[in-house]
């Protein structure tokens, strides 16, 4: 009780008795989450403005005789003639490690019912991305735990890798798998006490999704023990378009805080198609001129300024990184639509998921031909490079031959061997959802594939064979796996150990 | 949309005619209104509304509305107007209004700018800080 009184006394003592100057305006019209305001002569672009009832908004249209602003949150209590005040501040959100394990809205306020967030630091939602001098090229890997991706489309810390595909092809699953894998790696790394270990913190931004989907994702993260390393920013479909527009920038601010403080972070934007649609809605209500597919002219800048904030900064600037995995949903596999082409051109590569592959049971349904990582190979672990160097080419040749082989019955022995090997690789890359595989196990399996240990195993038995090999390595050869993880390359000694281990497994499996 | 722009543009031109040495002249405004009455333009009512809005804004720019709780001497009002005139670099007249909701102190409004030295605003700040 006395502390409350002390607090009040302190507040009264700090009370400003001098004149307070403010720049104000009056609401002319309000509707659809957008207010037109007369006055506010000194308002800045993107400035936070204050409406009655502690409601805030952002000034987005500065016109000659009025200001267009989006209202963040509930706008039903606002009336014509209500006073609006400039704050002189850009919108900021709370950041820091205190946010980990929490679910927040687009303004960084907790929505998980776990009480207040312990964070005394804020970060501007809109910020200019790090410049050229501050940056460094991508050279550290970020393992997704998905064999097909880590071996053929590797991702580096600070990279922007787009996940693109039709609805229901497993885009979110890949992103969640990656978050779970970071948590698994963090647990092992932090437990090892290695002073050079750099944990990766994750931020999952849900834009325009059903609350049930967000709840399911949260459930998975919690079940797999990944939530403690993750911040979830949620702007569900029921939120206003303004909140959906803002959520990715809020997430980026939280991730950028980790980067600017010398840490590594991963951010997933799920998804930017809905983000663009929310921005289109807002722009149309603000009466901005519309262009292709009714999107406003600056829809490219909307995504480029967001994704440019993901970077790897050099040692002079803390050596941190922010890796982005934006997600785009296509319609009937059309990659040439407006938003997909925009985001493809902004990012450093894409993972394309195909509906046909998904329906054939090939999951994750990664299309090898259309997926690419432009900068990730520089960051790929050497051991993976040694065992998976040729796999992408072999798989691409297999797809071509498989299509061709449908028309002929007589095939030469070489073609048959290629088809056989290809179908084994396809089976090998099948992986259940939310079960990322540690890189050392991936290396073990791929080494066995490269050295023809799977050649005499029936194609239908490939998945169980690779599972059995991994189980064998984990339960019987843990020291070998640790050696692969620590050395990160296969030298003669490791190759010999692998040969002995896989021979032993093969004898027991057969 | 195009029509709106034309009306606004016409109203702006009317305002320009209404200014004398950069300040609104009652005589000129009267002249403009008489001329409009004599030769009404297309969209007469909309034009008058747009003109009224611009005139009201111009008046607000050169008027300091001093709201006060309790008595305020005419000298104080004049001194406030003089201070504001020198701050904004234009002649500003003062208008006083009694407002008991301020509890004590003053609030001065010049166009969009509000200078608040009232107890009501201090209490509102305290309320926000404590909530």
The secondary structure of B90-111 as a DSSP string is S--EEEEEE-GGG-SEEEEEET
Nearest residue to A473 (alpha-carbon basis) of A451, A446, A492, A491:
A446
Nearest residue to B125 (alpha-carbon basis) of A18, A1, A78:
A18
Catalytic residue annotation of A: 374
pTM of the predicted protein model: 0.90
For B115, the closest of A11, A15, A19 (CB atoms) is: A19
pLDDT score for A403? 79
C-beta separation of A100 from A231 below 8 A: yes
A358 phi and psi, to 5 degrees?
-60, -45
CATH of domain A93-380: 3.40.50.300
Contact list, B121 vs chain A (CB under 8 Å): 20
Cβ within 8 Å, pair B113-A23: yes
What CA–CA distance (Å, rounded) separates A172 from A207?
A: 12
Which residue, chain included where needed, has tokens 């014509």?
A80
Question: Alpha carbon A59 to chain centroid distance?
Answer: 28
Cβ within 8 Å, pair A11-B126: yes
Per-window interface: A 159-218 vs B, CB < 8 A = none
A355 touching B (Cβ < 8 Å): no
Q: State how far residue A112 is from chain B, nearest Cα, in angstroms.
A: 21
Prior bond of A344 cis (ω within 30°): no
Cβ within 8 Å, pair A16-B117: no
Cβ within 8 Å, pair B121-A25: no
pLDDT score for A376? 85
Nearest residue to A284 (alpha-carbon basis) of A127, A70, A128:
A70
How many cross-chain Cβ pairs, A to B, lie less than 8 Å apart?
A: 46
In three-state secondary structure terms, A94 is: strand
Per-10-residue mean pLDDT for chain A, 510 residues long?
73 72 94 92 94 92 92 92 94 95 96 92 95 95 96 96 97 97 96 94 97 96 97 96 96 98 97 97 94 96 97 96 98 94 97 95 93 92 91 86 76 85 93 95 94 91 94 94 93 95 90
Which one of A10, A19, A27 would you mutate to disrupt binding with B, by most B Cβ within 10 Å of its Cβ?
A19
Question: Considering only the top CATH level, what class is A21-89?
Answer: mainly beta
Contact list, A8 vs chain B (CB under 8 Å): 130
For chain B, list residues whose CB is within 8 angstroms of any CB belonging to chain A.
8, 111-117, 121-122, 125-126, 128-130
Instruction: Specify the fold of A386-509.
Output: 1.20.150
Nearest residue to B48 (alpha-carbon basis) of B26, B33, B28:
B33
| Burial class of residue B100 (count of CB atoms within 10 Å of its CB; 0-12, 13-18, 19+) | exposed
Nearest residue to A230 (alpha-carbon basis) of A238, A222, A242:
A222
C-beta separation of A146 from A139 below 8 A: no
Contact list, B122 vs chain A (CB under 8 Å): 15-17
Nearest residue to A228 (alpha-carbon basis) of A269, A187, A195, A171:
A187
Cβ within 8 Å, pair B126-A18: no
Which residue, chain included where needed, has tokens 């002569």?
A41
Whether pLDDT at B112 is above 80: yes
Domain residue ranges of chain A, discontinuous segments joined by +: 21-89, 93-380, 386-509
Nearest CA in chain A to B113: A23
C-beta separation of A371 from A152 below 8 A: yes
Contact list, A12 vs chain B (CB under 8 Å): 126
What CA–CA distance (Å, rounded) separates A96 from A107?
A: 14
Cβ within 8 Å, pair A16-B113: no
Percentage of chain B modeled with pLDDT above 90: 67
Q: State how far residue B22 is from chain A, nearest Cα, in angstroms.
A: 19
Nearest CA in chain B to A40: B112
pLDDT score for A315? 95
Cβ within 8 Å, pair A11-B130: yes
Biggest CA-to-CA distance, chain A: 94
**Inter-axis angle of helices A241-260 and A299-307, to 10 degrees?**
30
Cβ within 8 Å, pair A22-B117: no
């Amino acid at each position: 009780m006395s502390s409350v009184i002390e607090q009040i006394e302190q507040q009264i003592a700090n009370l400003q008795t001098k004149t307070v100057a403010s720049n104000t305006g009056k609401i002319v019209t309000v509707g659809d989450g957008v207010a037109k305001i007369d006055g506010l002569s000194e308002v800045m672009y993107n400035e936070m403005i204050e409406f009655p009832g502690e409601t805030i908004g952002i000034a987005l249209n500065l016109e000659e005789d009025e200001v267009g602003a989006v209202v963040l949150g509930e706008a039903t209590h606002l009336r014509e003639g209500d006073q609006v005040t400039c704050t002189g501040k850009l919108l900021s959100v709370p950041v820091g490690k205190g946010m980990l394990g929490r679910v927040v809205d687009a303004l960084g306020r907790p929505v998980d019912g776990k009480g207040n967030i312990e964070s005394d630091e804020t970060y501007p939602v809109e910020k200019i991305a790090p410049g050229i001098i501050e940056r460094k090229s991508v050279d550290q890997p970020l393992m997704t735990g998905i064999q097909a991706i880590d071996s053929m489309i590797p991702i580096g810390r600070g990279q922007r890798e787009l996940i693109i595909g039709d609805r229901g092809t497993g885009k979110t699953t890949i992103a969640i798998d990656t978050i779970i894998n970071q948590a698994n790696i963090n647990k092992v790394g932090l437990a090892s006490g290695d002073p050079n270990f750099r944990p990766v913190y994750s931020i999952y931004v849900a834009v325009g999704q059903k609350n049930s989907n967000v709840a399911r994702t949260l459930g998975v993260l919690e079940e797999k023990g990944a939530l403690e390393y993750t911040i979830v920013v949620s702007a569900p479909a029921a939120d206003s378009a303004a909140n959906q527009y803002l959520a990715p920038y809020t997430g980026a601010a939280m991730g950028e805080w980790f980067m600017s403080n010398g840490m590594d972070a991963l951010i997933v934007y799920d998804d930017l198609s809905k983000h663009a649609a929310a921005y289109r809605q807002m722009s149309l209500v603000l009466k901005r001129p519309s262009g292709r597919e009714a999107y406003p002219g600056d829809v490219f800048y909307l995504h480029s300024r967001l994704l440019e904030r993901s970077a790897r900064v050099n040692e002079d600037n803390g050596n941190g990184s922010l890796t982005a995995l934006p997600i785009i949903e296509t319609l009937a596999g059309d990659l040439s639509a407006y938003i997909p082409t925009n985001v493809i051109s902004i990012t450093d590569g894409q993972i394309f998921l195909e509906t046909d592959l998904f329906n054939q049971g090939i999951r994750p349904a990664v299309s090898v031909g259309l997926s690419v990582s432009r900068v990730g190979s520089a960051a790929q672990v050497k051991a993976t490079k040694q065992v998976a160097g040729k796999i992408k080419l072999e798989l691409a040749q297999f797809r071509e031959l498989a299509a061709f082989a449908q028309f002929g019955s007589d095939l030469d022995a070489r073609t048959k061997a290629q088809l056989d090997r290809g179908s084994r690789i396809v089976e090998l890359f099948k992986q259940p959802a939310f079960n990322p595989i540690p890189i050392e196990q991936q290396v073990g399996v791929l080494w066995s594939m490269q050295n023809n240990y799977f050649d005499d195993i029936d194609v239908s038995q490939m998945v169980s064979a690779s599972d059995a090999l991994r189980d064998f390595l984990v339960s019987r050869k843990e020291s070998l796996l640790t050696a692969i993880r620590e050395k990160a390359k296969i030298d003669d000694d490791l190759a010999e150990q692998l040969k002995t281990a896989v021979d032993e497994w093969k004898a027991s499996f057969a | 949309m195009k029509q709106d722009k034309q009306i606004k543009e016409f109203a702006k031109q009317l305002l320009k005619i209404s200014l004398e040495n950069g300040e609104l002249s009652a005589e000129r405004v009267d002249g403009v209104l008489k001329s409009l009455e004599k030769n009404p333009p297309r969209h007469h009512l909309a034009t008058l509304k747009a003109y009224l809005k611009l005139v009201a804004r111009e008046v607000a720019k050169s008027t300091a509305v001093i709201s006060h709780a309790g008595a305020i001497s005419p000298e104080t009002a004049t001194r406030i107007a003089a201070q504001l005139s020198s701050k904004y670099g234009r002649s500003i007249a003062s208008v006083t209004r009694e407002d008991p909701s301020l509890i004590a102190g003053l609030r001065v409004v010049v166009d969009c700018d509000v200078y608040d030295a009232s107890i009501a605003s201090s209490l509102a700040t305290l309320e926000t800080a404590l909530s």
